[in-house]
Chains A and B, each alone.
Chain A
């Protein structure tokens, strides 16, 4: 990892945080999560934290927040500017991976803060709920980046998110809820934290394999341009000045 990669990732995070998408997603998480305690307050007269509503808000909000920003860079021509003049394609994609990971971590931290506040300071419950949600989201991150790299969709999580939930319902209908939960690693029990290990393992494998695949494909796609550059440099006549200065 280079200093340039980190600098570009930081710039992408800075830009992403200022997009209307990010604020929309954060507002959605907050609004939907608030519905649980508000409904409880209206129906039972007590403020009760509802982890399921936090999960629903988390899912809706993530659709808008989770992004690396490469779509804006590509459609605005900044990607060409960076890749031709400043950094390699691999460094550019690695910066996108870091930016996406940062949006994931920042969003997780925000959801945790919301959970802690709405649960009246129950840090354990908020941490447990948000960690499961975040691990599930981690499973989908590489696919979101693939969508960003291949399309102009500015809310890339919509595609893997839709496929994930469609698959979830299809599996539950075909195999039953219990078997589906086992397959996807969703049968975690708060009373026994190691039960979240299967989900964590799946998320870890998805992140490592998915991002490695994206980097490899980027490298392979940039090979033709690198070959053209090598040929152009190698073909320079012997008399040509190496530093480009005019021959005297």
Chain B
């Protein structure tokens, strides 16, 4: 469960989200959309507790050993690292309750390949794979950017699956085609409007 009460989010001196009250529960993926600069990323950083809210409260309903998992589109691996080294590190950072094997997002590249020689989409898939192997609710900021159609489908399937038991919040201004949006908000000019039931097609 993720509860937001009268939440306000600031980006610099501008209030980009005001008086946002929602209770987000597992079930459907919760979408946060809106034009560039609407405050999606700022809101996600506040939900991930990286930045404090300007006002209001956030409530987490989590297992004691669980945490909200967070990803934003600008996250990447150092270019000098290799795919194999990242996979070894991922394996060692997982807990016993996490999923030890690769997800469908893992790119089909040889372990000795330098990260700097991968495409932006492949680099992103390495991080998303690492995140999806972990147990817990998800906060994803623009996870579909730079992904191929197949990878987008694989990600959507993984998110739908995770959303059945954990909260999944996805911020994007490009909801994949033919996605049934069952829950979410559209941010614009500081206001949060509930998303229509069928959007993004």
Q: Does B85 contact A (CB under 8 A)?
A: yes
Q: How far is the CA of A8 from the CA of B81 in the complex (A)?
A: 12
Is there contact, CB below 8 Å, between B86 and A11?
A: yes
Question: Count of B residues near A, CB < 8 Å?
Answer: 49
Q: Which of B25, B71, B166 contacts A81 (CB 8 A)?
A: B71
Is there contact, CB below 8 Å, between A244 and B49?
A: no
Q: Which of A73, A225, A232 contacts B59 (CB 8 A)?
A: A232
Q: Does A78 contact B (CB under 8 A)?
A: yes
Q: How far is the CA of A242 from the CA of B59 in the complex (A)?
A: 12
Give the nearest-CB partner of B165 in chain A.
A245
Q: Does A7 contact B (CB under 8 A)?
A: yes
What is the predominant secondary structure among interface residues of chain A facing chain B?
helix
Residues of B within 8 A of A224 (CB): 52
What is the predominant secondary structure among interface residues of chain B facing chain A?
loop
Q: Does A3 contact B (CB under 8 A)?
A: yes
Q: Does B167 contact A (CB under 8 A)?
A: yes
Give the nearest-CB partner of B92 in chain A.
A7
Residues of A within 8 A of B72 (CB): 77, 80
Residues of A within 8 A of B27 (CB): 246
Is there contact, CB below 8 Å, between B81 and A245?
A: no
Q: Which of B50, B77, B85 contacts A225 (CB 8 A)?
A: B50
Q: How far is the CB of B161 from chain A (nearest CB, A)?
A: 14
Partner-contacting stretch, out of A14-22, A102-110, A132-140, A213-221: A14-22
Chain A positions near chain B (C-beta within 8 angstroms): 3-4, 7-8, 10-11, 14-16, 18-19, 69, 72-73, 76-78, 80-82, 84-87, 224-225, 228-229, 231-233, 235-237, 240-247
